[in-house]
Structure 1
Amino acid sequence: MALTLIYCIFLISLPAMFQVASYPSSSFPMHGHGHHQKQQQVSSPSIQLPRTLARPPFAEASREAILAAAPELASVPAEYIRRGLRSRANEMLAGISVLSGSHLPSSMPRSHMQATISIPIRPTQAPPTYPTHVLALSSSKSSSDSVMLFPVHSLILASHCASLPRMPPPASPPSTTLHLPVLPFSLPSPAAFSILHTYMYNHRLDSVLKSLFPLPAGFLQSLSHHTVQTTLSSGTTLHQLSAYLCSSAGSNLHTLTSHAAHVKELWQDMVALGLHDPELWDTIDLAWEVVLGALNLAAKGH
């Protein structure tokens, strides 16, 4: 699936001096659903970074997709479905864990893919909630024959992602073999999807940030959406986090640019999937502010 991005980030070679916009003196504006954030793109001869990462217009999850995954929820709003799924996260993640490793490879050549993947399972008294499908992700930015495989529950994807194609119907309930229909899909960064895959189940903002770059353990402990929003409006706290990140990278511009690339790839995947989670979007905003600040500090030599 091709994705046309309004704003691109070109991470090529770094100049001797690198400059991005510093923190504004006032609070950062919070983004709302359905609004594009006006961007002031900053650049140098060999690198360009947008001041902020744009959010596409809000689009709710497809009612048709939800209906295909769970007909009994036809009249339930998507937001209520997402909240209800949180209480089942552990049993669904347990079902995914059973398939990890030798049962389901993490990747395979696209040419070897079939419409269904069959996996033997052991009957138990209290079986976990097994995945219903396998997402086979290829990169929209390369011609690699390899696809990454993610066992998923169709209702999780259908209720979170507005831009997924219609999923194949699930197989019959498992007995001794699990038959998982395969859904091929293309994303800018299949590797970055692993962060989103976990988040759609556990909704842990600290795990998202830890997957992107180092931050103080005290800040990440019990991280809430309120903490994220408060931090976004505090130039002092943002500076402290940027200084920590800059120090952890040894003020190395190449390392910090790699961190920026990881945030950018996660953002691109969210846009491509139509994943409109306000808490996650604010967390991506926070990650971007911190990494831009760290790049500024490294470029200025503190």
Structure 2
Amino acid sequence: MVLQVSNRTRFADSENTPPIRLPTTTTKVRNGIQAASRRRRARVSGSYPQYAVKLAKKQQQRTKTKAVSKYPPPSVDVEMHDVSASGSVQTKSVLLPRYLSRPEFREVSRETLRAVDPELTDSNTHPDYIREGLEHFGPAMLRVLSSVQAQPVTNVLPKELSIIINDLSSDLPTHMLAVYARQSTSSAAVKRRVTLFPTHNVVLAANCASLPTLPASIPVSASDMQNSPASINVPIVPLCIPSPETFPQLSTFLYTKRADHLLASLLPSSSLPLSLLSASPLPSTGSVKQYATSLATAHTPQTLLAHAMSVNGLWRNVCALGVFDERLWDVMDIAWEVLLGALGVATGKGVAL
């Protein structure tokens, strides 16, 4: 097993860090979520039953239009040309799904949310309220994560880890995810790579319908810390997902909900035309073809395929964790259409867009 800490964390010596005090107040994020819940309920004239009916209809429509087919989706056969060491050209085919199928919609578990914080799951608090509050505080919470420093980890994964936090402007992380991929039997002898990511349990619980049970974490409020940097212990949670390398993109989106940033990270060029971002819900076929053609002329087929595989990995993570954010799915659909179109132009095998 090879352990490494993600680029959000840095190694540090916590020997001289001040002790922590137990929390005496509720967290800023929880207060913000509860305030967002009250404001949203007020906007629907205090009629939660009517709002619940609207949500049910919306979720039913999601299931009807976005549900995965019972049959395998059609595939696109892309031919790639590689030059061997002897200089000969070798051709191999790569099968990619034509569409990124969506699993049937499932709401997050109220029991999982209740385990995080019982005060967030009263009778009038729908998970949408919690996600709305988190969307406001998420960027600040992400900045806290980026300030985390972690002690080096050996080949044995401990149950908890001591971390240093330099930014106390928002809620402190509650867990450390040990993210890894399932190994095939043929690679059993190869050391497994595990990457550590600090996280907040409420962000995962509010967005991931298939989230495994997280161990209890003693809540520590940033307002209870005397000085910065601060040292706390957090439990480590092993998390097996299909594509560990794309987990940072998914995690960042869950905190920021910035569709434009996510789309830019999935495509070879960070310079995106406005037509890809301003259209609702999806851009026109013409704008997709135009941008795909520009990417095909600026990048090699190998580069385009690498980005397509990243989108595919992100999609598999989203399905595995049960994330049903519409903006996230729209971004993946746009990136997939663009990259398939670009691959079709670059390899001479047209893809019907």
Q: TM-score, normalised by structure 2?
A: 0.67
- Segments of 5+ residues of structure 1 without an aligned counterpart are 1-30
The equivalent residue for 2:129 is 80
Shift of residue 258, structure 1, vs aligned partner: 1.1
Is the counterpart of residue 56 in structure 1 residue 97 in structure 2?
A: no
Q: What amino acid maps onto 1:223 in structure 2?
A: L
1:268/1:228 CA distance change after superposition, 3 Å: farther
83-92 or 215-224: bigger deviation = 215-224
Is the counterpart of residue 201 in structure 1 residue 255 in structure 2?
A: yes
Q: Give the counterpart of 2:157 among 103, 109, 113.
A: 113
**In 1: Cα distance, 2:183 partner to 2:100 partner:** 19
The equivalent residue for 2:348 is 300
**In 2: Cα distance, 1:237 partner to 1:133 partner:** 42
The equivalent residue for 1:229 is 281
**In 2: Cα distance, 1:299 partner to 1:173 partner:** 54
**In 2: Cα distance, 1:220 partner to 1:129 partner:** 34
What secondary structure does 1:282 align onto?
helix
The equivalent residue for 1:168 is 215
What secondary structure does 1:191 align onto?
helix
CA deviation digits over 1:26-73, x for unaligned, max 9?
Answer: xxxxx9336115622233673211110111111111111111111101
Shift of residue 177, structure 1, vs aligned partner: 2.5
Shift of residue 183, structure 1, vs aligned partner: 0.9
**In 1: Cα distance, 2:265 partner to 2:280 partner:** 16
The equivalent residue for 2:85 is none
**In 1: Cα distance, 2:344 partner to 2:206 partner:** 38
Shift of residue 218, structure 1, vs aligned partner: 5.0
The answer to whether the Cα contact below 8 Å between 1:141 and 1:188 also exists between their aligned partners in 2 is no
**In 2: Cα distance, 1:121 partner to 1:253 partner:** 42
1:154/1:55 CA distance change after superposition, 3 Å: same
**In 1: Cα distance, 2:334 partner to 2:165 partner:** 42
Is the counterpart of residue 43 in structure 1 residue 77 in structure 2?
A: yes
The answer to whether the Cα contact below 8 Å between 1:162 and 1:275 also exists between their aligned partners in 2 is yes
The equivalent residue for 1:245 is 295
**In 2: Cα distance, 1:90 partner to 1:149 partner:** 20
The answer to whether the Cα contact below 8 Å between 1:206 and 1:220 also exists between their aligned partners in 2 is no
The answer to whether the Cα contact below 8 Å between 1:228 and 1:283 also exists between their aligned partners in 2 is no
Shift of residue 90, structure 1, vs aligned partner: 2.9
Shift of residue 172, structure 1, vs aligned partner: 4.4
136-145 or 60-69: bigger deviation = 136-145
What secondary structure does 1:254 align onto?
helix
The answer to whether the Cα contact below 8 Å between 2:311 and 2:332 also exists between their aligned partners in 1 is yes
Q: After the TM superposition, which residues 1-302 of structure 1 pair with which residues of structure 2 at under 5 Å, given as runs?
A: 32-33=62-63, 35-37=67-69, 39-43=73-77, 46-75=93-122, 76-99=125-148, 103-104=149-150, 111-121=155-165, 127-141=169-183, 143=188, 144-173=191-220, 175=225, 176-215=230-269, 217=271, 219=273, 223=277, 227=279, 229-231=281-283, 234-249=284-299, 252-300=300-348
1:41/1:120 CA distance change after superposition, 3 Å: closer
The answer to whether the Cα contact below 8 Å between 1:132 and 1:180 also exists between their aligned partners in 2 is yes
**In 2: Cα distance, 1:150 partner to 1:235 partner:** 38
1:155/1:40 CA distance change after superposition, 3 Å: same
Q: What amino acid maps onto 1:204 in structure 2?
A: R
Q: What amino acid maps onto 1:145 in structure 2?
A: R
The answer to whether the Cα contact below 8 Å between 2:253 and 2:262 also exists between their aligned partners in 1 is yes
After superposition, the CA RMSD in angstroms is 2.6
The answer to whether the Cα contact below 8 Å between 1:94 and 1:129 also exists between their aligned partners in 2 is no
Tell me which structure has the larger Cα radius of gyration. 2
What secondary structure does 2:345 align onto?
helix
- Segments of 5+ residues of structure 2 without an aligned counterpart are 1-60, 79-91
Shift of residue 171, structure 1, vs aligned partner: 1.9
Q: What amino acid maps onto 2:216 in structure 1?
A: P
Aligned residues: 259
Shift of residue 273, structure 1, vs aligned partner: 0.7
**In 2: Cα distance, 1:141 partner to 1:89 partner:** 33
Shift of residue 87, structure 1, vs aligned partner: 1.3
Identity %: 36
**In 2: Cα distance, 1:211 partner to 1:268 partner:** 17
What secondary structure does 2:245 align onto?
coil
240-249 or 45-54: bigger deviation = 45-54
190-199 or 126-135: bigger deviation = 126-135
The answer to whether the Cα contact below 8 Å between 2:268 and 2:295 also exists between their aligned partners in 1 is yes
